Chain A
Amino acid sequence: MSTDPYVLRVNGGDHQVPDAYLGESLLWVLRERLGLPGSKNACEEGECGSCSVQVDGELVCSCLVLAAAAVGREITTIEGIAPGGGLADVQRAFVEAGAVQCGFCTPGLLMAVDTLLDDLPDDGSDPDDLTVREAISGNLCRCTGYGRILEAVSIAADIRRGGRT
């Protein structure tokens, strides 16, 4: 049974979703109906984090969000973290550190790191190692071994605080 048409607010714009099945996940709707394939689909059970997006500023797995229940929420995907078409600070940091191999986990990791950096300590200190590891613990990378990802987080934190340009 299809739902009544509904509207999702994604990356600052309103998107009509007509004729969807009620059980469609936000991930499915983003990728298959709204043409936003940046959020990746792997496990569909919240294990891998490759579909991570922000809903009202909170990091969630879009595969576990019922799309029709996200009406009225502010949804930010990887396509929306760099307004203006350039690279966001987290993206620059991942490039600089070489924190990408196959790239499949990268969009989800970028959303996780972006969320972490939104909540940086006010005293200007770096997030400690445990905090960083916990923040990305829901994002699986099977290529890098995480070393360069941790390095990228440190670079991104520096950029975010204005320590470098």
Chain B
Amino acid sequence: MNELTVSVSPHLRSGRTTRKIMLDVLIALCPALIASVFIFGWRSLLLTGVSAAMCVLCEYVWEKLLKQPVTVSDLSAVVTGVLLAFNVPSTMPVWELLVGDAVAILCVKMLFGGIGCNFMNPALVGRVVMFFSFTADMTNFPAPAGTVDALSSATPLALIRAGSIGWSELPQILLGVHGGVLGETCAVALLLGGVYLCARRVIKPIIPLAYLGSCLLFMWIFGSPQPVLAIFSGGLLLGAIFMATDYVTTPTTDLGKLIFGLGCGLLTALMRCFASSAGAVTFSILLMNLVVPYINDLTAPKPFGGVEAK
């Protein structure tokens, strides 16, 4: 008789793996990347590729040095790298981006135990570090290739605050032909990615909808001149669809996700209306990341037939 495997049930597993989930996220990011190449040129692709490679390298070297199992094949480092690149202008010097990558992977992800253990979104922390370290380069938004008008180099958010933008600008904003960081400008591409993620059941639409909806509502309440255009401007869509839906740093239950999305929306609206709008999305999500354990405790599902212990 040959050797039989004896193991605990279940003996059947689904085909879903972490790697396939991450691959779906990367596929969902592709439309925005392609749009970025059209809007800002080939340097977008270069930065994205370099950033992804650096993140993978950091994770690999860390795990090799600490003699841990190498996990780069789960593609989560690639996702972090791409997202981080999406958060810098296409003119960003490469070495500065590499610093952001190293911070994201080494300090935020690996120091806390690798995938699944970080309490804040690595790409967003990387972005904050770059934002304060290289403020000039991070806020120097290049004009899209072949455009010259006012909206080209200034970001729509700045123009909304100045009150010098109207509904006629909507198509340009949706297509992303305006100043901004390389992955955030094309609203259509980002929405396409979001629909793909929902259709593939990688994410539930709760957080993006709650985030965008509440942000719109609060900006309107706070008297923003163009709350609708503001929804499609800046890093909001990129953040709401790809950053605020990171499994590790967002709540588990549907109710928790709703609270998280609403909180992000309120904070973003507050910052955009009453503070410097730069980084509003980033800081909102990071702040909400910090309260996720509390949201999880508050929204823990009630077990079926569960009786509270005396």
State yes or no: do A and B come from one complex.
no
Using CB atoms and an 8 Å cutoff, list the residues of chain B in contact with chain A. Answer: none
